[in-house]
Amino acid sequence: MDVFIGSSTQTNPNQIHDFNPGIKDFPSGLFWTIPFASKAVRARPGAGRASSSAHNSHERDFHTLNNPLANGPSGPATVSFNVEWGGVLDRGHLSDSQHKFRLDFVDTDATVTWSGRNDRTGATFVSGKNDSPAAFARLAHERNGRFFHEDDD
């Protein structure tokens, strides 16, 4: 999650915090990804409902986007969040047997609450009230490679 002062633009982003777990096995490893306990994720994609949450997850505050990409300086941080998907807006299916890919998806509304804390400085940030849904939210089930079976269509 990124925190900006004022408006953000590409030429003058005003970014003051960049909370993320960094890049495991820098520079070629998995990035910006954390494991979740199975109880932290609930999904019923066919019904268009899912939720994901974390409480006091240990992350890093890299302050700017360039720092984690360059394995630059960071400080200890914690974040908490809750994401709720719900309300079927559209459904779709994509399949490509030549490339062994299949995707079933449900477009939904989603709301997010989030908080973050730089453990070194004590700087704390909390999302505001989220009355409007996300511009785009999608739940999907994908199968590819060895998990793709043509008879699934």
pLDDT in tens, 69-128: 898 999 999 999 999 999 899 999 998 888 889 889 999 999 889 999 999 999 999 987
Which three-class secondary structure state does DSSP give residue 67? helix
Query: Does the pLDDT value for residue 10 go beyond 70?
Result: no
Q: How far apart are CA 14 and CA 133, in angstroms?
A: 25
* Residue 131, C-beta contacts closer than 8 angstroms, at least 6 positions apart: none
Tell me the percentage of the chain whose pLDDT exceeds 90: 44
Beta strands in the chain (DSSP E): 2-4, 15-20, 41-44, 49-61, 75-96, 101-118, 124-126, 138-144
Residues making up the chain, counted from first to last:
153
Q: What is the 3-state secondary structure (H, E, C) of 89-125?
A: EEEEEEEECCCCEEEEEEEEEEEEEEEEEECCCCCEE
Structure tokens, 110:
């989603």
